Chain A
Amino acid sequence: MSPREAWVRVCALDDLPRAGARVLELDGLAPIALFRTDADRVFALHDRCPHKGGPLSQGIVAGDHVTCPLHGWLIALDKGLACAPDVGCTPRYPVKVEEGAVWIVPQPMTAPAELAEADA
């Protein structure tokens, strides 16, 4: 992890719908999809499906997965990986929840080790 990473407070956890998502727009950056699962886990992904760029933030969130609204690709929120038989991944952003607030590092993680492994 980069030592220069900076956590930014985005919103209260309750600003995100449970089993849903919202889009975070930051100047000069691609839109980020912030997901909140039914079990209150929070994930942040680049808001584009690896398939044809569909807005993942608009998909149905079930468990720790989101289904892309355009062609139904299933994306695992934790790693941003498409589920078989589809292959692809979308960048993740570091995200955390502290005292009911959602924080993000507005810099995509660069290909993490487990991603490379899973792709192999």
Chain B
Amino acid sequence: MKQPKLVVIGNGMAGIRTVEELLKLMPGMYDITVFGAEPHPNYNRILLSPVLAGEQEFDDIVLNPLSWYRDNGIRLHLNSEVVRIDRVRRRVIAADGTEAEYDRLLIATGSLPFVLPVPGKDLRGVIGYRDIQDTRTMIDTARHKGHAVVIGGGLLGLEAANGLAQRGMDVTVVHLAGWLLERQLDPVAGALLEKSLRERGLRFRLQASTAAVLGNDQGEVVGVRLADGDELPADLVVMAAGIRPNTRLAEEAGIHCSRGIVVNDSLQSFDPRIYAVGECANHRGVAYGLVAPLFEQAKVCANHLAQFGIGIYRGSVPSTKLKVTGIDLFSAGEFMGGEDSEEIVLSDPAGGVYKKLVIREDRLIGACLYGDTGDGGWYIKLLRDGTPLQALREQLIFGENALGDAGTAGQDRASAMAASDEVCGCNGVCKGTIVKAITEQGLFTVDEVKKHTKAASSCGSCTGLVEQLLMNCLGSNFQETPKTKAVCGCTDLSHGEVRKAVREHRLLSHAQAYAFLEWRTPNGCATCRPALNYYMLSSWPHEAVDDPQSRFVNERVHANIQKDGTFSVIPQMKGGVTNAAELRRIADVADRYQVPMVKVTGGQRIDLLGVKKQDLVDVWRDLGMKSGHAYGKSIRTVKTCVGSEFCRFGTQNSTQMGIELETMLANMWSPHKVKLAVSGCPRNCAESGIKDVGIIAVESGWEIHVGGNGGIKTEVARFLAKVRDAEAVREHVGAFLQLYREEAYYLDRTVHYIERVGLDHVRQRVVDDAESRRALYERLLYSLEGLQDPWEARIAGKQRSEYEPLRIAPQAADAEAGA
């Protein structure tokens, strides 16, 4: 088949990012031609401000050097402005006569500065601020001229003004609105910003409009006259009063435009062969002027170009950061608030700190921060995820740290850290390494940082810090981890979408799922395979095929791998209760197999460490005990105290309750490990407060707490319900765990699951609605019905070859010579 031709008009960030995404998906699918009106390869337009301010050089901000185009077989026409699209013959024609045919056309022409229609707008020295050419003009002018006027006090205008001031010019900003950055800040924060910029020597004329730009006989600009008659001297006038989508080409070609090229959710214009991304596109009525949304568009557009057809762009919540060194501001969402919303405000004008959070229906919908923006990443996450605030609300304004975080998530503010401070404790990655990777390798997302540095790639507790570092380095360029994150690189589908498909389309095997969901890889990867395996098993109990090769070694082998490749064996000891006969057998096994260490675990059981893989089945047989499931994303153990049987404080028989629960839940797979505890009185000796399900006996019944966690970040379990008897405990606990099994994403602990859906949802399904509870409970019992203990199954011969090393049979060892 003939290789189809893709032509890209616009050699900027949106267009090239789309090409990059496409090359990732389907390298070599298209014959690609790129037209760029500028003489440069793709550079990071966002970093023009640091170049202007003298903090970076042009070479530092080139994203794709010419060699990149060459290496990827892309035909690049620089200095070649496309002037016409011939949709009938499917060609584009450039000003220099170059023509190119297309099968698919991508328009990424960006935007043009909005030039005020005032007299004198065409004088020499009046410029916009869109490209490196403008930037160089500014740098050159600043070298020998004194006065500059910047029209527009928006992000671009202020960055231009700051840069020019840094280069020694005397700068006045003329701004129409009553405060600076009126689209990003509320009046209070705007005033704080103005104060701090004034201290840096900038001057402002607010609520002022430009009447004319004044020139001399040589056609050079000399000043600006405002509507009130005041005149400001100027050797340079920067028009930064806004941008408008550059749609001329599309309009002339008869493509429907309305404040941008109108595109659908797959970034196609009204001509389905023609796509548009970036600032020139209008998606659902919005033309985005920030970079993060453009990248999201690029991903979806590339997905469509690659003919996967499964990406949908639903619009973005952009957040903003001003790239003026030393000034921290941040805003996102509906930060202005309104009548139907509430606000939480912290204002310390003397200290230069202002924070406003806008809340509607228990969800954060907007944030505006000034002076202390370290929590911006956290707020935007809450905002995009639509996390129910509930208990968070009280501490919300003080940031993530105030949540009593005992872990590492936000303990240190990223910006306050030294370059040598460690960010990722698992992989030993320090701040300097990450910042260097971000700036030198042009990283934009947490995933990219993970890939290049390994930071945040193990336990993930430093993800927040990495996000902060990205934000500090990139400003509005930062791409927040999207709410519907893809499972892994093999697909664009999120966990929720995969599970839904498994359920609705009755996917029962890996091969079937990869084909149906159009996985990019033939058989997944180490990330998605276990997840998919779980989704299928939990959605279709007794029907889906469990694939041992899609399980992590511990779950495949039913023992816990240790650093030297040996395994640990933890037999089941329900409720932590054992007896002399069991202990004797354990001791005998320890002797017989020369187990190097026997240890009591935190879950009230006994661990035999250092067992060789080939001995596992024999060890299990000799123990004569069931699997303790201490190795899986599964039920682990139910920890108990001695309860009313012996303890003088005990109010109920907690030990018996623990044993009953552990019996009920035996062999239960789950999205992540599940730990339970039952305490016989509120003294809580079994530590029920930090378990996925913690039960506390009181005189009149049992309290059930859920979502506790004693791991990476200590989380106190939250009260779910109080019930009277043991049967009700089993039903509530069973229903809660089944809900978690059905709704949580793979590798989410109960705390993460509850954080995502809200405790109210859980309460509603498990406590308030008795019918729903019973149905959940019954589904759990059905799932677990008839499951065999995995050790027993292996003693009987299941998967025998897994445990037997290969040896070369003696007759075959007579080597055949040569090859």
Contact = CB atoms under 8 A, between A and B. Distances in A.
Interface string A37-79: 0110000000000001111001111110101011110100000
B553 A85 contact: no
Given A19-B523, A23-B805, A24-B805, A58 B549 contact: no
B819 A7 contact: yes
A22 B801 contact: yes
A60 B521 contact: no
Interface residues of B, number: 39
Nearest to A102: B806
A72 B552 CA distance: 11
Interface in B786-819: 801-802, 805-808, 812-813, 815-819
B563 A70 contact: yes
Interface stretch (B123-131, B365-373, B451-459): B451-459
Contacts of B454: 85-86
B529 A62 contact: yes
Contacts of B557: 58
B561 interface: yes
B550 interface: yes
A108 interface: no
A9 B818 CA distance: 13
Contacts of A67: 525-526
Most A C-beta atoms less than 10 A away, residue of B523, B548, B564: B523
Nearest to A71: B458
Contact of A72 (B452, B522, B526, B812): B526
A23 B815 contact: no
Contacts, number: 110
Contacts of A63: 521-523, 525
Contacts of B563: 52, 54, 70
B549 A17 contact: yes
A25 B815 CA distance: 16
A96 B554 CA distance: 30
A38 B517 CA distance: 18
Interface string A13-24: 001011110111
Given A11-B806, A17-B801, A61 B549 contact: yes
B524 interface: yes
Nearest to B490: A62
Contacts of B453: 85
A72 B458 contact: yes
A22 B806 contact: yes
Given A11-B806, A71-B458, A72-B457, A60 B550 contact: yes
A81 to B, nearest CB: 16
Given A22-B806, A34-B806, A69-B552, A7 B816 contact: yes
Interface string A74-102: 10000000001110000000101000000
B806 A59 contact: no
A15 B802 CA distance: 10
A8 interface: yes
Contacts of B805: 22-25, 31
B565 interface: yes
B816 A6 contact: yes
Interface range on chain A (Cβ under 8 Å from partner)? 35 or more
Contacts of A74: 526
A50 to B, nearest CB: 15
A25 B801 contact: no
A22 B805 CA distance: 7
Contacts of B525: 60, 62-63, 65, 67
Interface in B518-536: 521-526, 529-530
Contacts of A15: 801, 806
A17 B802 CA distance: 9
A74 B442 CA distance: 23
A19 B453 CA distance: 28
A61 B521 CA distance: 12
Contacts of B529: 60, 62
A19 B549 contact: yes
A30 B394 CA distance: 59
Most A C-beta atoms less than 10 A away, residue of B522, B549, B565: B565
Interface in B549-601: 549-554, 557, 561, 563-565
A25 B806 contact: yes
Contacts of A19: 523, 549-550
Contact of A69 (B521, B549, B561, B817): B561
B428 to A, nearest CB: 12
Interface in B347-388: none
A26 B809 CA distance: 10
Nearest to B557: A58
A74 B489 CA distance: 14
B523 A62 contact: yes
A46 to B, nearest CB: 13
Contacts of B552: 60, 69
A9 B808 CA distance: 7
Contacts of A39: 522
A96 B530 CA distance: 30
A11 B812 CA distance: 9
Contacts of A10: 806, 808, 812
A38 B452 CA distance: 28
A50 B324 CA distance: 44
Contacts of A3: 818
A18 B565 contact: no
Contacts of B526: 59-60, 62, 67, 72, 74
B553 A59 contact: yes
Contact of B812 (A8, A18, A85): A8
Interface in B121-144: none
Most A C-beta atoms less than 10 A away, residue of B458, B554, B802, B807: B807
A94 B458 CA distance: 33
Most B C-beta atoms less than 10 A away, residue of A6, A10, A62, A63: A62
A78 B74 CA distance: 29
A69 B805 CA distance: 18
A112 to B, nearest CB: 16
A6 B277 CA distance: 59
Contact of A58 (B524, B553, B819): B553
A31 B807 CA distance: 10
A43 B687 CA distance: 48
Contacts of A34: 806
A119 B779 CA distance: 54
Nearest to A54: B565
A58 B806 contact: no
B451 A62 contact: no
Contacts of A9: 808, 812, 816
Contacts of B548: 17, 20
Interface in B427-482: 451-454, 457-458
Contacts of B813: 8
A62 B817 contact: no
Nearest to A19: B549
Most A C-beta atoms less than 10 A away, residue of B458, B525, B806, B818: B806
Nearest to B806: A24
Contacts of B521: 62-63
Contacts of B549: 17-20, 60-61
Given A58-B561, A62-B525, A8 B808 contact: yes
B58 to A, nearest CB: 28
24 contacts: A8-B808, A10-B812, A15-B801, A15-B806, A17-B801, A18-B549, A19-B549, A24-B807, A25-B805, A25-B806, A38-B523, A52-B563, A53-B564, A53-B565, A58-B553, A58-B557, A60-B551, A60-B552, A60-B553, A61-B549, A62-B525, A69-B554, A70-B563, A74-B526
Interface of A: 3, 5-11, 15, 17-20, 22-26, 31, 34, 38-39, 52-55, 58-63, 65, 67, 69-72, 74, 84-86, 94, 96, 105
**Which 9 pairs across A and B sit closest by C-beta, in order of nearness?**
A67-B526, A6-B815, A55-B565, A60-B526, A38-B523, A58-B553, A9-B812, A19-B549, A69-B553
Given A63-B521, A69-B552, 5 more contacts: A19-B523, A20-B549, A26-B807, A60-B550, A96-B819
